[in-house]
Structure 1
Amino acid sequence: MKVAVLTISDSSFAGSRPDVSGPEVAGICTSLGWQVAHSQVLPDERAAISSALRLLSASCDLILTTGGTGITARDITPEATRDVIEKELPGLPELMRAAGLGFTRRAALSRAVAGTLGQCLIVNLPGSPRGARQSLDAILDLVPHIVELLHGRTAHAEESKRD
């Protein structure tokens, strides 16, 4: 599986704070045998995020964003994601929030979005390394199946093509 990891953070983009979450997410992907084909730090700018998602979706099976899912004025990752996705998958963020609530009640503040763009799955993860890891762990078992469906490589997908 070909993966892109985007860290959304004004301070990391400006170089005033190191990106810790992006490498954490990339490390999880690599440990699963997934190819991290692209990683990048972007500012909390809606157009920049949407543009990167569109561009990377053409060559990646999965795009994981980390950061920008909270409630501050600059947290706009969910909006940028909704600008580009074709089908929203609300169950994935629901699973991530439910899992996160086992660790902290602040997980309820996440506005993460997940959805598809072409044959690519896009998932917003929290900006903290621990939150990103816990959220990704909550959906890991579903990701390969979703990607297989998007590529038409399952019996279910084949049946859908015939209908």
Structure 2
Amino acid sequence: MPNSFDKNAPAKIGIVTVSDRASRGEYEDRGGPAIHEYLSEVLTSPWEPVAKVIPDDRDTLARTLISLADDMRCCLIITTGGTGPAIRDITPDITEQVCEKMMPGFGELMRKVSLEKVPTAILSRQTAGIRTGSLIINLPGQPKAIGECLDAVFPAIPYCIDLLEGPYLTTNPERIEAFRPKKK
């Protein structure tokens, strides 16, 4: 079931940091602010962040993603953290659990780009999926990797949001050029 978005309101974008330590205040959240800064540089259309810092907890993450998609009507939800092989790394598993449709190309491209930088990128399980018209993308936790991954996939994000009947996102072409097929 697609989300109904208010075309006249700023696009809502969920930014979710998944970290036990950051959620307890023991560790500075650098991932969420890195995503916010990235979006501020790239998007030229009006948008509103909906930021959350939560623990690596299955129920909390599932409720958060569902709420951001179903209740808050975020057209895009970007998570950071919890994508590795450690026991507490559950973000891709919960994303897959709450999504109706998976978008594996996002994860494939992000891993390809990351592998060009560091051999341990093969351990990352980034993924993406669709829930009620919201695109959910899982990113690693390191700010540098966040930027590299978003640079790789962001050209396709506005068109994906279009296909989901979401708000029309525009980008700064000097930073990232959104790809949309030419109309015939």
State the alpha-carbon separation in 2 of the partners of residues 24 and 67 from structure 1: 12
Provide closer, same or farther for how the CA distance between residues 130 and 153 of structure 1 changes in structure 2, counting only shifts above 3 A: closer
Q: Of residues 10, 29, 33 in structure 1, which corresponds to 2:39?
A: 29
State the alpha-carbon separation in 1 of the partners of residues 20 and 93 from structure 2: 16
2:129 aligned counterpart, secondary structure: strand
Between 1 and 2, higher relative CO (CA 8 Å, sep ≥ 6) is seen in 2
Provide closer, same or farther for how the CA distance between residues 119 and 75 of structure 1 changes in structure 2, counting only shifts above 3 A: same
Equivalent residue, structure 1, for 2:22: 12
State the alpha-carbon separation in 2 of the partners of residues 36 and 19 from structure 1: 19
1:142 aligned counterpart, secondary structure: helix
State the alpha-carbon separation in 2 of the partners of residues 79 and 127 from structure 1: 16
Equivalent residue, structure 1, for 2:58: 46
State the alpha-carbon separation in 2 of the partners of residues 112 and 76 from structure 1: 11
Q: Of residues 56, 63, 80 in structure 2, which corresponds to 1:66?
A: 80
Q: How far apart are 1:152 and its partner, in Å?
A: 7.3
**Residue segments in structure 1 that go unaligned for 5+ positions in a row:** 157-163
Equivalent residue, structure 2, for 1:106: 120
2:15 aligned counterpart, secondary structure: strand
- Does the 8 A contact of 2:82 with 2:141 survive in 1? yes
Matched letter for residue 57 of structure 1: A
State the alpha-carbon separation in 1 of the partners of residues 89 and 67 from structure 2: 21
- Does the 8 A contact of 1:89 with 1:114 survive in 2? yes
- Does the 8 A contact of 2:133 with 2:166 survive in 1? no
1:141 aligned counterpart, secondary structure: helix
Matched letter for residue 55 of structure 2: P
Structure 1 stretches of 4+ moved >4 Å: none
State the alpha-carbon separation in 1 of the partners of residues 157 and 92 from structure 2: 19
- Does the 8 A contact of 2:75 with 2:166 survive in 1? no
- Does the 8 A contact of 2:75 with 2:167 survive in 1? no
Matched positions, count: 156
Q: Of residues 87, 97, 106 in structure 2, which corresponds to 1:83?
A: 97
1:68 aligned counterpart, secondary structure: coil
Q: Higher helix proportion, which one?
A: 1
Per-residue CA distance 1:105-124 (angstroms, 9 max, x = gap): 11111111200001100000
State the alpha-carbon separation in 2 of the partners of residues 37 and 93 from structure 1: 23
- Does the 8 A contact of 1:9 with 1:68 survive in 2? yes
State the alpha-carbon separation in 2 of the partners of residues 37 and 138 from structure 1: 21
- Does the 8 A contact of 1:5 with 1:36 survive in 2? no
